[in-house]
Amino acid sequence: MTAFDALLISKSDHGQTAEWTSLTEDDLMEGDVTLKVTHSTINYKDGLAITGKAPVIRRWPMIPGIDMAGTVVRSSNPDFREGDDVLLNGWGVGETHYGGYAQMARVKGDWLLPVPSGLSRADCMAIGTAGYTAMLCVMALEAHDVKPSDGPVLVTGAAGGVGSVAITLLARRGYEVAAGTGRPETAEYLKSLGASEIVGREELAGTPRALGKERWAGAVDVVGSTTLANVLAQIKYGGAVAACGLAGGMDLPTSVAPFILRGVTLAGVDSVMAPKARRAEAWARLAKELDLVKLHAMTETRPLRDVLTLAPEILAGKVKGRIVLKVG
C-alpha cells in the first residue's frame, strides 16, 4: 500500500512532540470517504494544537489540521464518488479524528461538502474555517436585524483570518466597517479590504464600563475577554455582537447592563459542529459574495511543511490575512 507523509503529534510525560512521519491508508481512522488532500490552511486553533498552548487535541497521537480540501479516491458514501472535489471544516478533525496535515485522509462523508462552483480547492482553503466562520458571523448579524443603515459595524482582530474576510464581506454588503487592531502597520491593508475606520487596540482595553458611548450597530469579535466586554458596552440600542473567538481569553468581565438596558444581543457563533445545512448556506454565499480578487490579495501560499514555523507566528499575531498550505 502506498505510503504518504503526515504531521503526527504525540504526547508523553515529557510533553508533546510534532514530527513528519510516513503512514499508509491502514493507519487512517474510520470513515466512508478517502481523499487525497491537496490543500489545507492554518487557523489560530491549529496554532494552539501544534504548540500545545491549549488542550485542543483530545486523542493521541493526532494528525492536526482542522481544514482540508482534496479529491475523493474512494467512497462508500452515496453522496460522493471518485474524482469529486470536496472540502471539510471542523467536526473534531485535528482534535479527535486525523486532520488535514497529511497527503491522505479518511473521514465521514457527512462531514464533507462539495467544492462550490466558482471556487477552486485552493480558494476553499484560502477561505478555510476562518472565512467560513466570518460568513457565519455575518449571517448572525443579519439574523438579528443589523442593517447597513443602522450604523458602523466593528470587527476586532481585524488583520487576522476571520477579521480580514469579515471586513470584505461586510463592506461588499454595504456596511460601514470599523477595523479593530493592535497592529497599526496594517491600516492600509485593512482599508484595502473595505474598512473605513481603524480602531486601535487601546480603545478596547482597560477596565470595561457597564455602559459606554453608543458607537456601533453591531460587531464581529474574535478576541473575547476585556475586548468583548468593552465592545458590548459601546453597542447601539438593539444591536448585536457575533462572538466567535477567544484570542484574548475565555473570561467576560462585564455586567447585564448592555443586555437589559440597551437590548443588545450577544450571539455565539460555532463553526465546528454547525449543522450541515447552515454550512452549505455559508459556503454557497461565500462562493457568490466574496470578492475573489481581495481574497487572493490577502492570501499567501506556503508548503505544508512550513506549518511548524507558522504555528507560533499565528499565536503571536504575526500572520496577516490567510495562508494556503499546499500539500505536496
The percent of residues in the chain predicted with pLDDT above 70, rounded, is 100
Residue ranges of alpha helices (H) inside the chain are 44-51, 121-143, 161-172, 187-193, 225-233, 257-261, 276-289, 292-297, 307-315
In the chain, CATH 3.90.180.10 covers 4-115+298-326
For residue 134, is pLDDT > 70? yes
Reported confidence tier of residue 328, pLDDT bands at 50, 70, 90: confident
38-68 pLDDT per residue, tens: 999 999 999 999 999 999 999 999 999 999 9
pLDDT at residue 1, rounded to an integer? 64
Reported confidence tier of residue 16, pLDDT bands at 50, 70, 90: very high
The count of other CB atoms within 10 Å of the CB of residue 62 is: 26
Reported confidence tier of residue 98, pLDDT bands at 50, 70, 90: very high
What is 4-115+298-326's CATH topology? Quinone Oxidoreductase; Chain A, domain 1 (3.90.180)
CATH classification code of 129-268? 3.40.50.720
166-209 pLDDT per residue, tens: 999 999 999 999 999 999 999 999 999 999 999 999 999 999 99
Reported confidence tier of residue 259, pLDDT bands at 50, 70, 90: very high
For residue 143, is pLDDT > 70? yes
Question: Contacts by 254-263 with C-beta closer than 8 Å and gap 24+?
Answer: 254/208, 254/210, 254/228, 254/229, 255/210, 257/210, 257/211, 257/233, 258/210, 258/211, 258/232, 258/233, 261/211, 262/211, 262/214, 262/235, 262/236, 262/237, 262/238, 263/237, 263/238
In the chain, CATH 3.40.50.720 covers 129-268
156-178 pLDDT per residue, tens: 999 999 999 999 999 999 999 99
234-255 pLDDT per residue, tens: 999 999 999 999 999 999 999 9
